[in-house]
Amino acid sequence: MKALEQIGLAALRRVDPERAHGLALMGLNAGFGPRGGPVTTDRLRTQLAGLDLPNPIGLAAGFDKNATALHALAKTGFGFIEVGAATPRPQPGNPKPRLFRLAQDRAAINRFGFNNDGMETISGRLARRPAHPVTGLNLGANKDSTDKAADFAKVLAHCGPHVDFATVNVSSPNTEKLRDLQGKAALSALLAGVMEARAALARPIPVFLKIAPDLTGDEIADVANVANASGIAAIIATNTTLDRNGLHGPHKDQAGGLSGQPLFEKSTRVLAQLSLLTDLPIIGVGGVGSAAQAYQKIRAGASAVQLYTALVYGGLSLVDDIARDLDALLARDGFAHVADAVGSGRADWL
């Protein structure tokens, strides 16, 4: 099976990256993908913001932007998935080409700009999703919105009844002035509006906050202070980076957000710093491509992890491999539960 998967991945990498991604989603929906469900053990089972997860390996937002592969993804090994980002109105995003592979670095650069079908369409698909796995929605703002902060609350109010959690994404580098909303005053006001929309839901769900890896120490402290006071349930650290140090290949200087292996150390240091400043659970994202890297994120302070770019190079079978190997690493080090390992190696990253 893995040999066939590698052949398929090699073929997809000969196609334009965005088209290849669309073909991958089509193949997944046609049944070409893992079908055994999530790997789980007593060590891997955990809770995240009150949500029961069979394992702590999640799918990051961006893979299934429009919630078109929910039933197929339910058969894969993820302990939880996040779709979107969704904005109030549909939008095409930035001009193509807007996705670039950096194969030598096992990385990617994208400048999609929140291209999506809009909250009405995405909400309809979410309403028909399977009960498992735990499924969340990444909330976004329209590029031409005059009140971007209000857009997040709108999407939550409309889609919230159909998901298990929602993520406020103020950290994408591809929507002009979006990252400005990470400032202390702006973020406080934005989250107040989102939490008001959450309180109005018949079933209030946990709200997460996704932050950028390019914050200074003072900015990380500001985010932590706002998060602690806001009532949100977790922080996702981190989104893509604008850093371009040490990259290779013809696309290394493309504009957009960099994801994949080059982001691993930077994002892990941010989550370790953040974990000292808040008791909120943290989801570690950025460069996770192996069980060893997932374990490093967890030991740095993450309660769970997410991946996406690594799937371009390793395929969906990577998810089961990471879960099984993570279980073995936990057993090797004497941890009865993954939650016991959270923060146990934080000092290595400070």
Known catalytic residues are 172
Say how far apart CA 343 and CA 296 lie, in whole Å: 9
Q: What are phi and psi of 92, to 5 degrees?
A: -80, -15
Letter for the amino acid at 78? F
Say how far apart CA 212 and CA 139 lie, in whole Å: 15
Letter for the amino acid at 104? Q
Say how far apart CA 255 and CA 278 lie, in whole Å: 32
Which pair of tokens denotes residue 178? Answer: 């979006």
Say how far apart CA 168 and CA 194 lie, in whole Å: 8
Question: How are the residues of the chain apportioned to helix, strand and coil, as percentages rounded to the nearest 5?
Answer: 40, 15, 40
Closest CA to 49 of 136, 145, 161, 132: 136
Burial 59-68 (b: 16+ CB within 10 A, else e): bbbbbbbbbb
Which pair of tokens denotes residue 136? Answer: 């969340």
Say how far apart CA 38 and CA 57 lie, in whole Å: 9
Helix (H, G, I), strand (E, B) or coil at 347: helix
Q: ∠ at Cα 332 (329, 333), nearest 5°? A: 90
Q: Facing residues of 284 across strands?
A: 237, 305
Q: Facing residues of 101 across strands?
A: 108
Which pair of tokens denotes residue 247? Answer: 């990259």
Which pair of tokens denotes residue 8? Answer: 């398929």
